[in-house]
């Protein structure tokens, strides 16, 4: 039997039927803070703490991939002070990943466009990716300056270039070829998508990869989302009949 820390997991979770890849839209940090009379930054800080606990728990359970939406291509529209705060938080997260997720065996990757990120951030991403690449635990994709449409535009460009260069025939463009150009190439599709804070939309998150994902919308704001809520989402996921278009 596989070993993992069982202490908080009750028997109603079927450990042989876990989602392989979980996507998380960590929404509601701002509202969480406002409700407490705190600045929005306090909500993001609490959100980052929440994230550590959820990734640790997912890893302990044996989940293989988790992708979290940390900063979208649209988030640049926020006030500069908030953008700066989020970037600093992300930077700290990457720098401390060695320590804070030590022993957790988490592999960290950033997905999204690096072109608009600072050189310092790009260097840190590369460093953290390299430092954690050989680990055997959960793969954590941090979606950072990520947009699902941008990802598909990039993939399209890349395949068109191959066609223009005579290396690929249009007829040979398949789903696998497109998948191979995504930031998540070689990773499985998202099985379970969780969005907190009551909103029920995708907001440009992993448009291709969530095609057959079960979606669960949770009322709680992200900073209030606890490991037991993750368990509840997995239980709900396991109660759904996935047919992938079949009967
Ligand atoms: C959505 O809440 C959340 C974000 C735009 C940022 C998510 C970031 C974190 C959870 C922390 C940083 C992440 C890492 C990896 C360190 P919102 O601000 O849109 O909340 P609102 O809808 O209530 O205003």
Q: Is the CB of 27 under 6 A from ligand 1?
A: yes
72 C-alpha to ligand 1 centroid (Å): 10
**Pick from 209, 88, 76, 66: nearest CA to 145:** 76
Length of the chain: 247
Q: Is 160 inside a domain boundary? A: no
Q: Is the CB of 85 under 6 A from ligand 1?
A: no
CATH of the domain at 39: 3.40.1180.10
Question: Structurally, how many domains does the chain consist of?
Answer: 1
- Per the structure, the complete domain to which residue 138 belongs is given by 17-147+190-236
CA distance 12 to 244: 24
Q: Is 2 inside a domain boundary? A: no
Helix (H, G, I), strand (E, B) or coil at 105: coil
Which of 29, 38, 84 to probe ligand 1 with, by most ligand atoms within 8 A of CB? 29
- Measured by CA distance, the residue closest to atom 24 of ligand 1 is 30
Q: Is 3 inside a domain boundary? A: no
Q: Is the CB of 48 under 6 A from ligand 1?
A: yes
Which of 25, 38, 44, 49 to probe ligand 1 with, by most ligand atoms within 8 A of CB? 44
In the structure encoding, which two tokens stand for residue 109, read together? 């990757």
163 C-alpha to ligand 1 centroid (Å): 39
Q: Is 173 inside a domain boundary? A: no
CA distance 32 to 46: 9
Instruction: Give the residue numbers marked as catalytic.
Output: 27, 75
Q: Is 84 inside a domain boundary? A: yes
Q: Is 230 inside a domain boundary? A: yes
**Pick from 52, 43, 127, 150: nearest CA to 86:** 43
CA distance 190 to 152: 16
Q: Is 161 inside a domain boundary? A: no
Helix (H) or strand (E) holding 107: strand 107-111
pLDDT, one tens digit for every residue, the chain (247 residues): 344 454 556 678 999 999 999 999 999 999 999 999 999 999 999 999 999 999 999 999 999 999 999 999 999 999 999 999 999 999 999 998 877 665 668 999 999 999 999 999 999 999 999 999 999 999 999 999 999 999 999 999 999 999 999 999 999 999 999 999 999 999 999 999 999 999 999 999 999 999 999 999 999 999 999 999 999 999 999 999 777 888 7
Q: Is 170 inside a domain boundary? A: no
């Amino acid at each position: 039997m596989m070993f993992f820390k069982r202490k908080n997991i009750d028997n109603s979770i079927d450990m042989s039927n876990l989602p392989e890849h979980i996507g998380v839209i960590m929404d509601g940090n701002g509202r969480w803070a406002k409700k407490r009379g705190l600045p929005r930054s306090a909500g993001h800080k609490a959100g980052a703490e929440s994230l550590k606990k959820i990734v640790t728990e997912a890893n302990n359970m044996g989940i293989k991939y988790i992708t979290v939406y940390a900063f979208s291509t649209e988030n640049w529209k926020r006030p500069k002070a908030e953008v700066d705060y989020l970037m600093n938080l992300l930077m700290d997260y990457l720098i401390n990943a060695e320590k804070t997720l030590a022993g957790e065996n988490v592999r960290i990757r950033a997905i999204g466009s690096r072109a608009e990120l600072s050189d310092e951030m790009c260097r840190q991403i590369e460093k953290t990716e390299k430092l954690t690449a050989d680990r055997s635990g959960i793969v954590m994709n941090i979606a950072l300056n990520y947009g699902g449409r941008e990802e598909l535009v990039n993939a399209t460009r890349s395949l068109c270039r191959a066609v223009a260069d005579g290396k690929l025939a249009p007829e040979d463009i398949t789903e696998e070829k497109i998948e191979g150009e995504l930031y998540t190439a070689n990773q499985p599709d998202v099985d379970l998508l969780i969005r907190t804070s009551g909103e029920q939309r995708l907001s440009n998150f992993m448009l291709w990869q969530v095609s057959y994902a079960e979606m669960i919308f949770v009322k709680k704001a992200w900073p209030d989302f606890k490991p037991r809520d993750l368990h509840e989402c997995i239980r709900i996921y396991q109660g759904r009949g996935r047919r992938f278009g079949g009967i």
